[in-house]
Amino acid sequence: MVTPRELRALPKAHLHTHLESTLRPGTIEEWGGVAPAAAVFSGVPIYPDFRAFGDERAAVRDLLNTPERFRRAAYEFCQDEAAQGVRYAEVTFTAAAHGERTGQARMPLEAVLEGLEEGERDFGLRTAVLLDHSRRRSTDRLARTVDLALAYEQVVGVGLAGDESHPLSPFARELDRARAEGLHLVHHAGESAGADSVREALEVGHAERLGHGIRVLDDPGLVARVRELGVPLEVCPSSNVMLSLAPSWAEHPLPRLIEAGLNVTLNTDGECALNGEYASAREIFGFGDDVLAELARASVRASFAPDTVKKEILAEIDAWAR
């Protein structure tokens, strides 16, 4: 019998994680908040819908109200990611909304970038930032998001998130501008809404990756298109279960996405530890170390990391898999 390799030693890239959702329960409680229900996730749905999840997370976001707290959140994120074997992370942050809430347009992002820089130095991983924008919010806020992204070289892209019942089309002009200015575009699609949201993300949003994307399976023709394009899916199984988008881990479509030949990466949405996702994939679906290593490779290849960084991490994954 072959002993499974240690997952903490598997080098990984993490592509879909929201900084506001990664706050440690102890940090939240220290700041006077209540740890989210996801902190004690036991493999069954927690939230009846996206709105319930959003309301809980809004209370947590409000705790981020000083430069020190934004810096600490980013620094602790780096420490926790490094402990999971993450070598490169793209962390999503809702910078413009925090700037409006605090009355300091650039402070939240600048403080986060400081915390990430310190965390990279202390814990030995590399990071980049994606700025997201809620589909429910104004085009003016997206314009400010794009402006912020263009002002800081550590920010590599922008994307639309939130309730997918709100279309991308009103934001087309700003998304075109972001693309023309060289920003990467990564949108949540095919999470709570169906195949049409994926098509819109590709056609209107110029999506280079799909946040979640699990509903692509609703349409065989779309599966073929996404497979042909090679657009990576940022799949977050535990998050999908928590939000009642899958009834359990065992019934999650992760294996079917892989079997369909889609470009699948494994992520957390910020709701849990990345090692736990790999461990569950091993335990529940029987994925061998070869499959887990290929998921890790896919995450590196799909990342926006420099080619030299990709080459380095891919070599480390190969060494783990030997």
**Ordered structural domains, the chain, with CATH:** 12-321 (3.20.20.140)
What share of the chain has pLDDT > 90, as a percent?
89
Q: What residues contact 172, with CB distance under 8 A and at least 6 apart?
A: 204
Cβ–Cβ < 8 Å for 66, 105: no
Residue 110 pLDDT more than 90? Answer: yes
Instruction: State the CB neighbour count (10 A cutoff) for residue 96.
Output: 27
Spatial neighbors of 30 by CB under 8 A, at least 6 apart, are: none
Q: Is the pLDDT of residue 219 over 90?
A: yes
CB 274 within 8 A of CB 26: no
pLDDT of residue 1: 54
State yes or no: pLDDT of 27 exceeds 60: yes
Do residues 274 and 268 make contact, with C-beta atoms less than 8 angstroms apart?
yes
DSSP class per residue in 148-204 = HHHH-TTEEEEEEES-TTS-SGGGHHHHHHHHHTT-EEEEEESSSS-HHHHHHHHHT
Catalytically active residues are 191
pLDDT at res. 48? 82
Q: How does pLDDT run across 53-67, given as a tens digit for each residue?
A: 888 888 889 999 999
- pLDDT at position 2 over 70: no
Closest CA to 282 of 268, 292, 297: 292
pLDDT for 49 equals 77
In this prediction, residue 47 has a pLDDT band, given cuts at 50, 70 and 90, of: confident
User: Rounded distance, CA 182 to CA 58, Å?
Assistant: 31
Give the integer Cα–Cα distance in Å for 320 and 8.
Answer: 11
d(CA 212, CA 232): 9
Average pLDDT over residues 89-110: 97
Mean pLDDT, residues 230-255 taken together: 96
What CA–CA distances, in Å, run from 214 to 15, 121, 207? 16, 35, 15
Q: What is the pLDDT of residue 3?
A: 78
Q: Residue 287, SS3?
A: coil
Tokens matching residue 297: 């490779």
Among 77, 34, 27, which residue's Cα sits nearest to residue 274?
A: 77
Cα–Cα nearest to 191, from 233, 155, 149, 225: 233
Calpha distance 64→283 (Å, rounded): 36
Q: Give 3's contacts (C-beta < 8 A, 6+ positions apart).
A: none
Amino acid at 198: V
